[in-house]
Amino acid sequence: MAEPLDELRDSLTGEVLVEGDPEYERARLCFNLLIDRRPAAIARCVDANDVGAALAFGQTRGLEIAVRGGGHNPAGHCAVDGGLVIDLLRMRDVHVDPENGIATCQGGATWLDFDTATQAHGLVTPGGVVGSTGVTGLTLGGGIGHLTAQYGLTCDKLIAADVVSPAGKIVHASDDQNTELLWGLRGGGGNFGVVTQAAFRLHPLERVVGGSLEYKGEGVAAALRLVRELAVSSPHELSIQAQLAMDESLAPRLVVVPCYTGAGNDPEALRTLRAVPGLVNDGVRRQGFLDQQRIFDPGYGVDRNYWKGHFVADLPDELINDLVRRMPALGRPPGGILIESLHGAPRDVEPSSSALGYRDAAFNVSVMASWTDPANDEESVDWARTTAAAIQPWSVSGGYANYMQADEPFERIRAAFGPDSFARLQALKSRYDPDNVLRRNQNIPPAG
Ligand SMILES: Cc1cc2nc3c(=O)[nH]c(=O)nc-3n(C[C@H](O)[C@H](O)[C@H](O)COP(=O)(O)OP(=O)(O)OC[C@H]3O[C@@H](n4cnc5c(N)ncnc54)[C@H](O)[C@@H]3O)c2cc1C
């Protein structure tokens, strides 16, 4: 491979990493340690020309191609054994146009890059909750976070993108040009090309009432029931997530993470949450949006992960009790179960504006097994699968593409969009990537 790689090196402004290079081990690492792959080469691109050259090289040499943004996808789609990784780590610039309320970022920017740049102007877009997650990768799957109720899904704010297709063409998608591609990028994943620039609508916001509330004992199920009621009754000013986990003594605990952006510091909804018996930790306060974005801050590449979940129409008591009961099943902390509310702004937009099929769901319930010892792989994966199967009866869609592992059956990926949108996505795939060069993703095969 030495000679062909020289050809790749010569065609890039960025660098090419191979086994033995000091940065190779870090560059091949995924967030999820369960994925351990050794690409033949990692092309650290710096612009759209580099991306085009890497795409051409990979196809000419018959190498499987993976695209790496923030490296967070739990399926490990950003790494490929013996293939070529198009790594966007050096493409992280964010340009903010405060007058027009628009931020444009390069395809490898993370939420920390993005939020830091937009908050310098007192502006936000609804993004992910962890700073090291890739902005584009998250947007391509939808995007749920601390401002979902207020402003909608991240992909709802995507107003334009530059995409390098596998054929090497740079395509601009916006409301005026290539509108079908823009539609597909709002949820259809990295199936159509490599996004080198993405533009987002911004909103003024600097401070929120947020943080976390932690419950134990009877408070765990009681607070989760209240989260359910609040999600139904809450106005657009309150986004809410909750995470079931286990403490050191192997008792279930619940962490509720509200984000309130209305008037006053002590809204009724937060007062009721604080009044639930079993509250053991109250970390809710008025704070800057960047502080809210630091609540969840997991280490990168330290845990093994296996996630499985469902969008649900409801969170009945029966399901809440069952999930709480399943937490101690392994006799060790199994990871967590994340419950994200979809109330508010996601339903304000025309459903046909994006490829997603889960806007009507009430919650996204995700079983997130995480562990460190490889000896626990089978047991942890099994816990995630059986716990997710218990949620299935309330499922209203095929699951959240952003949290899917690589073993999801085709039918579940199709169901995540619905049959009509999926057929439209397949037609789009046939147009931009007829040979399915970009198949390291929640794959939408070309039509036919
Ligand atoms: C710790 C953690 C926190 C998370 N938090 C949230 C959250 O708050 N909300 C939420 O909705 N999701 C969240 N996610 C899920 C996350 O949005 C998805 O896993 C997403 O795919 C990650 O994007 P990435 O660029 O970081 O990952 P990568 O693994 O680098 O990329 C994943 C895939 O996205 C595609 N891709 C990425 N960038 C591009 C690009 N520029 N052009 C074309 N294709 C591209 C490729 O197909 C790539 O294989 C989280 C995941 C983790 C691990």
The Å distance, Cα 78 to ligand 1 centre, comes to 9
Counting ligand 1 atoms within 8 A of each CB, the residue from 45, 47, 50, 67 with the most, and so the one to mutate, is 67
Q: 48: Cβ below 6 Å to ligand 1?
A: no
Is 233 in contact with 252 (CB distance < 8 Å)? no
Q: Taking the mean position of all CA atoms in its chain, how far away is CA 330?
A: 27
Q: Name the residue of 138, 153, 305 to mutate for ligand 1: max ligand atoms within 8 A of Cβ.
A: 138
Residue 48 — very low, low, confident or very high, per pLDDT cuts 50/70/90? very high
* Whether residue 166 has its Cβ less than 6 Å from ligand 1: no
Strand order in the sheet with 194-201: 94-97, 102-106, 194-201, 158-164, 170-174
pLDDT, averaged across the chain: 96
Summarize the confidence of residues 370-383 as an average pLDDT.
98
Give the mean model confidence (pLDDT) for residues 162-173: 98
Distance 61 CA to ligand 1 centre (A): 27
In the chain the first and final C-alpha atoms are separated, in Å, by 35
Q: What is the pLDDT of residue 232?
A: 86
Those residues whose C-beta lies under 8 Å from the C-beta of residue 77, and which sit 6 or more positions away, are: 66, 67, 190, 406, 440, 441, 442
| Predicted local confidence at residue 1, as pLDDT | 61
Average pLDDT over residues 293-320: 95
Phi and psi of 250, rounded to 5°?
Answer: 65, 30
Q: What average pLDDT does this structure show over 45-73?
A: 98
Ligand 1 contacts CB of residue 128 (under 6 A): yes
Taking residue 24's Cβ as centre, other Cβ atoms within 10 Å add up to 16
- Helix or strand or coil: residue 178? coil
As a 3-state breakdown, the chain gives helix, strand, coil percent values, each rounded to 5, of 35, 25, 40
41/28 Cα distance (integer angstroms): 9
CA–CA gap between residue 63 and residue 83 (Å, rounded):
5
Mean pLDDT score, 410-430 = 95
- Please state the rounded mean pLDDT for residues 74-97: 98
For position 373, what pLDDT does the model report?
Answer: 97
Asked if residue 134 has its Cβ within 6 Å of ligand 1, the reply is yes
What digits encode the pLDDT tens for the residues 388-419?
Answer: 999 999 999 889 999 999 999 999 999 999 99
pLDDT, tens digit, for every residue of 187-229?
A: 999 999 999 999 999 999 999 999 999 999 999 999 999 999 9
pLDDT-derived band of residue 234, with 50, 70 and 90 as boundaries?
confident
Enter the pTM of the model: 0.97
Q: Is 78 in the pocket of ligand 1 (CB under 6 A)?
A: yes
Distance from the alpha carbon of residue 123 to the mean position of ligand 1, in angstroms: 22
Q: Whose CA is closest to atom 39 on ligand 1?
A: 137
Question: Which tokens is 20 given?
Answer: 């033995």
| Token pair in block for residue 166 | 């596998």
Identify the H or E element spanning 326: helix 317-326
Q: If DSSP codes are grouped into helix, strand and coil, which group holds residue 312?
A: strand
